[in-house]
Amino acid sequence: MSEQQKQARLTQIKRQWEQRRAITRSLGRIKTKIGVYSAKGGVGKTTVAVNLAAYLAKRGHSVGLLDADIDTPNAPQVMGGDARPAMNDGRITPADTFGVKIVSMSFFQQKSDEAIIMRGPMIHNSINQFLQMTDWGDLDYLVVDMPPGTSDSPLTIMQVLTMDGFIVVTTPQSLAALDAKRSINMIRKMNVEVLGIVENYTGDVFGSGAGPGLAEELDLPFLGFIALRPDYRDSSRPTVLASADVEAEYDAIWAAVEPRLAELEAAAEEPAEGTPEAAP
């Protein structure tokens, strides 16, 4: 390696280290990060992420929602409202919508129907930059709406943002279970916890059952059913704030997620086996 190459490599390492430090600083004030994921598209990830965030905000928590779907970002549209983030000195202050601080790549698109085309290193850079620039402040929960798939985009987000756990969304048909299994294997490969499985679109049209079946097979908690409802057509606000029935579904989901998060937190704090206890 020439002297010049060595210098370039050093500069690159320094830049990466500074970037990591800035991200750690920015994310350090967030108590719990929850990803909503499925390898399969269209199962309702964004809908679940938006409604979970709005539900937690309604319960008095400080909540952020990161739309990490950088190819087709749409969480602000699903959330409703027209708040925009503020940009100051290259820093992003998230928009506050229904008590949820929201950041999405869609805010930075010139035209909402423009296609965002990115390859590997660009994906990595834009996610890093996004995370570095955003001032979330103190948050109890950051809900992360993940992009579908098992390649570059979700992989990068899982690497950069250490999630406390993932909620995996599946649909009621047994065919969907295979995709959900892929999703769970992807999360496990990244050494992140799966909080449990949610079944979306439950009801007369698609039936019911894939979620609990899969949870049992994989020895994971089943977190709850979300029914297919026409209420979701109203995009002026999160459906959980408009329908008591939907709110009851999120009550059930949260009643399963909260103790699981506490369990994981306790396990993380416990000294590993064989580690001597600290002296009093």
Ligand X SMILES: Nc1ncnc2c1ncn2[C@@H]1O[C@H](COP(=O)(O)OP(=O)(O)OP(=O)(O)O)[C@@H](O)[C@H]1O
Given the rule CB under 5 A, which residues bind Mg ion? 45-46
Examine residue 116 and tell whether it contacts ligand X (CB under 6 A): no
Smallest separation (angstroms) from ligand X to the CB of 86: 26
Token readout for 216 is 């049992």
**Nearest CB to ligand X, comparing residues 38 and 132:** 38
Among 8, 11, 16, 42, binds ligand X (CB under 6 A): 42
Q: Which is nearer to ligand X, 232 or 254 (CB)?
A: 232
Are the beta carbons of 168 and 201 closer than 8 angstroms? Answer: no
The one segment of 53-61, 114-122, 211-219, 227-235 that binds ligand X by CB under 6 A: 227-235
What string marks each residue from 128 to 157 as x (binds ligand X by CB under 6 A) or -? --------------------x---------
* Burial category of 206 from C-beta neighbours within 10 Å (exposed 0-12, middle 13-18, buried 19 and up): middle
Strands (E), the chain: 30-37, 63-67, 86-88, 91-93, 95-97, 100-104, 139-145, 165-170, 194-202, 222-227
Residue 254 touches ligand X, criterion: CB under 6 A: no
Nearer to ligand X, 23 or 257 (CB): 257
Closest CB 16 distance from ligand X, rounded Å: 29
Q: By CB under 6 A, what part of segment 57-96 binds ligand X?
A: 69, 72
Q: Rule CB under 6 A: say whether 121 interacts with ligand X.
A: no
Distance from C-alpha of 68 to C-alpha of 160, rounded to nearest angstrom:
11
Q: Toward ligand X, which CB reaches closer, 61 or 229?
A: 229
What is the rounded CA–CA span in Å between residue 253 and residue 173?
Answer: 20
| CA torsion through residues 173, 175, 179, 180, sign | positive
Of 19 and 126, the one with the shorter C-beta distance to Mg ion is 126
CA atoms within a 13 Å half-sphere pointing along the CA-CB vector of 36: 32
Among 83, 232, 256, 264, binds ligand X (CB under 6 A): 232
Q: Which of 30, 34, 37, 44 binds ligand X (CB under 6 A)?
A: 44
Q: Smallest Cα–Cα separation from 38: which of 75, 69, 74?
A: 69
**Which amino acid is residue 171, in one-letter code?**
T
Single out the residue of 31, 182, 229, 237 in contact with ligand X (rule: CB under 6 A).
229
Asked if 39 and 146 count as a contact pair (C-beta separation under 8 A), the reply is no
Nearest approach in angstroms of CB 41 to Mg ion is 7
Say how far apart CA 143 and CA 53 lie, in whole Å: 6
Which residue number, 35 or 62, has a Cβ lying nearer to Mg ion?
35
Spatial contact of 40 and 154, defined as CB atoms under 8 Å apart: no
161 binds, among Mg ion, ligand X, none (CB under 5 to 8 A by kind): none
| Contact call for residue 226 and ligand X (CB under 6 A) | yes
- Which stretch in 96-104, 117-125, 156-164, 221-229 sits in contact with ligand X by CB under 6 A? 221-229
**Residue from 154, 132, 187, 179 nearest 68 by CA:** 154
Binding-site ranges for ligand X (CB under 6 A): 41-47, 69, 72, 148, 200-201, 226, 228-229, 232
